[in-house]
Structure 1
């Protein structure tokens, strides 16, 4: 869990809810850590997708805004595992807001405040093409 800890996920929702969302066994007494880890992995990959090309990954230290983003996205993923239940409005709204924030970071509207404050250069090369020079030094000398 690079962007967030297991405790961060546990703080985002009650233990009983986490047990119900992460386990397929209704009699389970503990959360399924493998399922939680999978949700966090997927959320972290989505965040990386928005940051790639703008920042050098992995980020160190991880800004708290990204920790919260991964927690919100992982929580949404856990709720989506249960299609028979309705997603709470707060979970849907948090996901929408998180995606908007990630788009703003990607577009450079919001910065992460990383040390140095510099974004990573875009990959690739730039090629420039120009016409042949029509006015050489000899021609310009005539106009002096």
Structure 2
């Protein structure tokens, strides 16, 4: 887990909820770590997709707003595994807000505040074209 730890997920999602969301066996007493890892991987790849081209990846250190974004996206992914129940409004709203935050980071409206993080240069060359100079030194000398 690159952007968040298992403890970060444990702070956002109660243990009993993690057990219910990650296991297909209703009698399970422990969360299914491989399912949780899949959810975290999915969320991290989504975050990287928004940051790619603006920041050099992987980020080190990881800003707390990205850690929280991965936690919220993972929580939504885990809830979506259960199609029989409706997603809580808080889960839907946090995903929508997180995607809006990632769009703002991508567009440069919000910065990550990384001390060493700089925007990645855009690939390709830059070409400019301009009209010929109308007022050169000779013309200005006549005034």
User: Structure 1 pair 106/141, CA: closer, same or farther in 2 (3 Å)?
Assistant: closer
Deviation at 1:11, TM superposition (A): 1.2
Q: Deviations over 1:18-47 (max 9, x none)?
A: 001001111111100000000000000000
1:96 and 1:63 map into 2 onto residues whose CA distance is 20
- 1:1-144 mapped onto 2 (5 Å cutoff): 1-116=1-116, 118-129=118-129, 133=132
Q: Deviations over 1:56-114 (max 9, x none)?
A: 00000000000000000000000000011110110001001100100110010000000
CA RMSD of aligned residues (A): 2.1
Any gaps of 5 or more consecutive residues in structure 2? none
1:12 and 1:102 map into 2 onto residues whose CA distance is 19
8 Å CA contact retained: 1:53, 1:123: no
Please give the secondary structure, in 1, of the residue aligned with 2:17. helix
1:55 and 1:4 map into 2 onto residues whose CA distance is 18
Any gaps of 5 or more consecutive residues in structure 1? none
1:125 and 1:23 map into 2 onto residues whose CA distance is 51
Aligned residues: 143
